[in-house]
Amino acid sequence: MSSPTVFITGAAAGIGRATALLFAGHGYHIGAYDIDEVGLTRLAADINAAGGKVRTGVLDVTNNTHWAERLAEFDEATGRLDILINNAGILRAGRFESIDLVTHQAIMDVNLGGVLAGMHHAFPYLRDTRGAQVVNLCSASAIYGQPELASYGATKSAVKSLTEALDLEWSRHDIRVIAVWPLFVATAMVDGMSTGTTKSLGVRLTADDVADGIWEATSKRPRLPKVHYEIGTQAKLLAAAAKYAPSWAVRGVNKYFAGA
């Protein structure tokens, strides 16, 4: 039997890199894709040095041609697609009106459009692999709309809904679709970022923490269907509060943490 495979976007650094290294260590054939060719070269060298298997390629998740070509190349090399991890994303923080419209639209295009395109292009390969899974990187910022992260949180809320819908829709094809929910993670995405919530809650997670959460979520299927996986104590507490507290209280808590 051929090695299980995982196709990871945004794999050159941060969460994507940590996830690629972790899965390679567990015997997965890695498909690592990004727009950062230098980062991909370094990642491939590390995986190869440890005796792992990896294929890399340039992938702009907003480019449909890139998606079609990279997936076809990976399938030709491996013959299967066990896990697709939609990790690539961008984040810009600040008051809504102070961020130019082009940047807001880029956030939408990458964080939502890239996930949608990836799942659409990957579907035939997932369908033809028994027990295939999709992991979408969501965010605790989607639990309730966050000041200074308005468009970013909106994309993650949409990813939440898309994940839930396709987990139901694709179950007949034996495809599981899940979302992982970290709060702020110490990667380049948050370097220099200063918002009310980062000041009050801090940046407590590492890329390895999220990679571990992805591994745990995909390697052990629960008896009862489970779609959402919060990463870290803070995200779990915020999610529980949003689920059980009245809406006015949830708004108040978010207003307090954001300093709004």
pLDDT of res. 241: 73
Contact residues for 38 (Cβ-Cβ < 8 A; gap 6+): 12
Would strands 53-58 and 83-86 be described as parallel, antiparallel, or unpaired? Answer: unpaired
Q: What is the CATH number of the domain that holds 118?
A: 3.40.50.720
Separation of alpha carbons 197 and 199, rounded Å: 5
Active site residues: 152
Indicate the number of domains in the chain.
Answer: 1
Taking alpha carbons only, the member of 71, 85, 80 closest to residue 134 is 85
pLDDT (tens, 9 = 90+) of the chain, 260 residues, equals 589 999 999 999 999 999 999 999 999 999 999 999 999 999 999 999 999 999 999 999 999 999 999 999 999 999 999 999 999 999 999 999 999 999 999 999 999 999 999 999 999 999 999 999 999 999 888 887 888 899 999 999 999 999 999 999 999 999 999 999 987 787 877 777 777 677 766 777 899 999 999 999 999 888 889 999 988 887 777 777 777 778 877 787 777 677 76
Residue type, 71: L
pLDDT of res. 196: 66
Separation of alpha carbons 194 and 190, rounded Å: 8
In 10 A of CB 115, how many CB atoms? 27
Domain that holds residue 231: 5-258
pLDDT of res. 64: 98
pLDDT of res. 219: 94
pLDDT of res. 51: 96
Taking alpha carbons only, the member of 49, 176, 155 closest to residue 108 is 155
